[in-house]
Amino acid sequence: METPNICAKFREEEKSDDSSQVLYRKSCIEKGYTLEYTPHKGGETLLEGWNKAAQSFPDNNCLGHIEGNKYVWRTYKQALHEAQCIAKALLTEGLIPDVCDNDKSYKFMGIYSKNRPEWTLVNWAMFHFSGTVVPLYNTLGEESLCYCINHTELSIVACDGPSFQKLLSLHKQGKITTLYHIIAFDEVSDEDMQQAEELRVQVHMYNDVVKKGEAVGDEILEEITKCMPETTESILFTSGTTGAPKGCILSHKNYLAVICGMDANRIPINHEDIYLSYLPLAHAYEKRITSYLLWKGAAIGYFNGNSSTVIKDAQLLKPTIFPAVPRVLCKLYDTVNNMIAQKEYLNKLYKVALKQKTHRINKEGKLTHLLWDSVLFNKHKEIIGGRVKLMLTGCAPISPEILRTIKCNFCVQVGQGYAQTEAGGVCFTLSQLDMTLGLVGGPNPCNKLKLQDIPDMEYFHTDKPYPRGEICVKGHNVFQGYYKAEVKNQEAFDDQGWLHTGDVAEIRPNGSVKLIDRKKNLFKLSQGEFISPEKLENIYNKSQFVAQIFVHGFSTMSYLVAVIVPDPEYLKIWAANRGLDTDLGTLVESQDLRDAIQQDLNDRTIKGGLNGLEKIKKFHLTLEMFSIENGLLTPSMKLIRHRAKVSFKPIFEELYTE
């Protein structure tokens, strides 16, 4: 039973002229009331907010990193001072040139590194003179990395050791042409320094930059133009699944609108909290969360750089706020189950405890249970340090079963929402009072929601019992557009200024949104990365074994599955050459054939330059062709994906449970 979603109730807005859409806004925003973007306290830019936190909590821990077996901290006072020193050095050395696009000028700084204090400090420094950071995923493929650097004409990049060597290699190959300066976070070998000199790339050691800034008077910071609400804070690149990455232009106002939404939804974060940062800061999700934490004066402890040891880092840091992406939640889920499975009597006890506590959560909304917490669950909390009070998610949907288990075992609320890079990182937030699983909340005070009919997919805002349609968003959090991509901008926005997300949702009776589909042929796996099935199908279709293929993946799972219609003629030839029965019905049940197809698919993965997430790990063979007659193809012979998903859903469920 769904509980009243007080903070996410919808109210139908003025009637739209377009009968194919319906508009909603947050229930607390009355008609005619201006959408919000400025938090209650703190200022109108991230610079004002972070600086104010440093003034209010100068001796609080701000940014921490691991040295040996402990965290070493910079206080807020120290962090602000270091950021200002970096800003002064960048200004006096003239390292940030203007880059122009049409009538607008930018001061770009690339950051190419795993999460660490220096990442955030460089970002903070850029605020002081209206600079813009261009974060680069440290996991970016070579082609995408070169595109991002060349597209923004980056002349300076701050980076860690492994990224430093990669930049030099690409520069040497002539694949990046604008890079002249590198700020190195880590020590650089004499060999690498010599190579940089030969490439005419000037290397600035991070610590030297800070020291140079310390020697410069603070007057220089008073003489320059600081950032304004409309100043571009960052250009965040999308993953580039459907082509070249797109650079989303996000202003300080966009970020503040998101912070305003988190405040309005009473996210319980304050200056006493500690957060473990391990998700890429190049991702809008992590950028948004850490911006909010620094606004609040909270402490951020960065992981050691190895994603496989995040749980160990949590045990060392003992955070109160933990980012809950699906892959880590799955690991926690497995850890708990493995602990319980070791003793039969404990397994029986655990099932009773889980059932009773789940009932208490659903009935009373309480995350604690006096008996079972003391007997079992308090011990499980120690797995992530013992102090976590809130987990935050929003990258990808989480299995209700896993979510339920996590809440019970760790006595913690899981903050859920709906996010897109183009929407500043988040636009819907689930109320802390709502214990319902599978929902993403309602619009924040900074934005409105429109449900747009999708006739081709048979989704309409007039559907019963729940209105359904494409999620469209308008508000202060919505990005300014894609950098140097006018055609893409026209595709993203309609003529009324609404951002079309491509996600399909239904509105539940309690006023919360439930995601049900994708308009665009994209989906996410549990890692939170988009998958383009059509691109993969084009590659795997090159296999001689494959006549037709439908690639799919559940958002709660970490790998792809597929339905394959094998080429009957090739199968007969293949079988005859091996002295096997050429009967097709017998062949599709043959393990020899399955092994051969799997090997060929693996080869296509390598030849097609695909990553591990794009590899098909399980498949189902069928001799029935996709056709117009069975409703899976259009008259132009295109696959009707939403029908295929429904038709093959039982098969996919079976593949995932094998």
Specify the CATH number for the domain of residue 539.
3.30.300.30
Q: What pLDDT band is residue 41 in, cutting at 50, 70 and 90?
A: low
Work out whether the CA dihedral 542, 543, 545, 546 comes out positive or negative.
negative
Looking at the structure, do residues 467 and 586 belong to the same domain, yes or no? no
| CB-CB neighbours of 199 under 10 Å | 14
249: closest CA among 43, 102, 83, 417? 102
For residues 292 and 456, which has the higher predicted lDDT (pLDDT)?
292
Residue 32 has pLDDT above 80, yes or no: no
Q: Give the Cα separation of 218 and 51 in Å (integer).
A: 15
Look at the chain and report how many structural domains it folds into.
3
433: closest CA among 503, 339, 364, 506? 364
Does residue 370 fall inside a structural domain? Answer: no
Structure tokens at 176: 């990046």
Structure tokens at 549: 């293929």
Say what the pLDDT of residue 436 is.
73
**Structure confidence by residue, pLDDT tens digits, 256-275:** 998 887 877 778 899 999 99
Looking at the structure, do residues 95 and 218 belong to the same domain, yes or no? yes
Q: What pLDDT band is residue 10 in, cutting at 50, 70 and 90?
A: very low
| Pairing status of strand 513-518 against strand 546-552 | unpaired
Residue 35 has pLDDT above 80, yes or no: no
Looking at the structure, do residues 16 and 96 belong to the same domain, yes or no? no
Say what the pLDDT of residue 345 is.
82
Residue 15 has pLDDT above 50, yes or no: no
Say what the pLDDT of residue 31 is.
45
Looking at the structure, do residues 472 and 554 belong to the same domain, yes or no? no
Say what the pLDDT of residue 418 is.
86
Query: What angle separates helix 326-341 from helix 310-317, to the nearest 10 degrees?
Result: 80
Q: Which residues of 271-285 are buried (b: 16+ CB within 10 A; e: fewer)?
A: eebbbbbbbbbbbbb
pLDDT over 70 for what percent of the chain?
A: 91
Lowest mean pLDDT among 32-46, 261-275, 509-523: 32-46
DSSP string, 315-330: HHH--SEEE--HHHHH
Looking at the structure, do residues 567 and 499 belong to the same domain, yes or no? no
Does residue 328 fall inside a structural domain? Answer: no
| CB-CB neighbours of 586 under 10 Å | 12
Q: What domain range includes position 170?
A: 67-227
Looking at the structure, do residues 540 and 630 belong to the same domain, yes or no? yes
Residue 438 has pLDDT above 80, yes or no: no
Structure tokens at 546: 């494959």
Q: What's the mean pLDDT when you consider all of the chain?
A: 88
Contacts of residue 250, defined as CB under 8 A and 6 or more positions apart, other chains included, come to: 232, 233, 234, 235, 236, 284, 424, 479, 480
Looking at the structure, do residues 509 and 556 belong to the same domain, yes or no? no
**Structure confidence by residue, pLDDT tens digits, 553-576:** 998 898 999 999 998 888 998 999
Does residue 12 fall inside a structural domain? Answer: yes
Lowest mean pLDDT among 63-72, 184-193, 234-243, 344-353: 234-243
Does residue 270 fall inside a structural domain? Answer: no
167: closest CA among 187, 196, 189, 130? 196
Lowest mean pLDDT among 103-107, 138-142, 373-377, 613-617: 138-142
Does residue 463 fall inside a structural domain? Answer: yes
pTM of the model: 0.81
| Pairing status of strand 560-566 against strand 546-552 | antiparallel
Q: Check: CB of residue 86 under 8 Å from CB of residue 92.
A: no
Q: Check: CB of residue 458 under 8 Å from CB of residue 19.
A: no
Q: Tell me the average pLDDT across 372-380.
A: 92
Assign residue 178 a region: left if phi > 0, alpha if psi is -120 to 50, beta otherwise? alpha
Work out whether the CA dihedral 574, 579, 583, 587 comes out positive or negative.
negative
Residue 117 has pLDDT above 80, yes or no: yes
Q: Tell me the average pLDDT across 441-469.
A: 88
Say what the pLDDT of residue 427 is.
85
Q: Give the Cα separation of 528 and 525 in Å (integer).
A: 6
Q: Give the Cα separation of 373 and 409 in Å (integer).
A: 8
| CB-CB neighbours of 321 under 10 Å | 26
Q: Tell me the sheet residues that pair with 391.
A: 322, 414
For residues 651 and 22, which has the higher predicted lDDT (pLDDT)?
651
Does residue 357 fall inside a structural domain? Answer: no
Looking at the structure, do residues 135 and 25 belong to the same domain, yes or no? no
Does residue 268 fall inside a structural domain? Answer: no
pLDDT over 90 for what percent of the chain?
A: 59
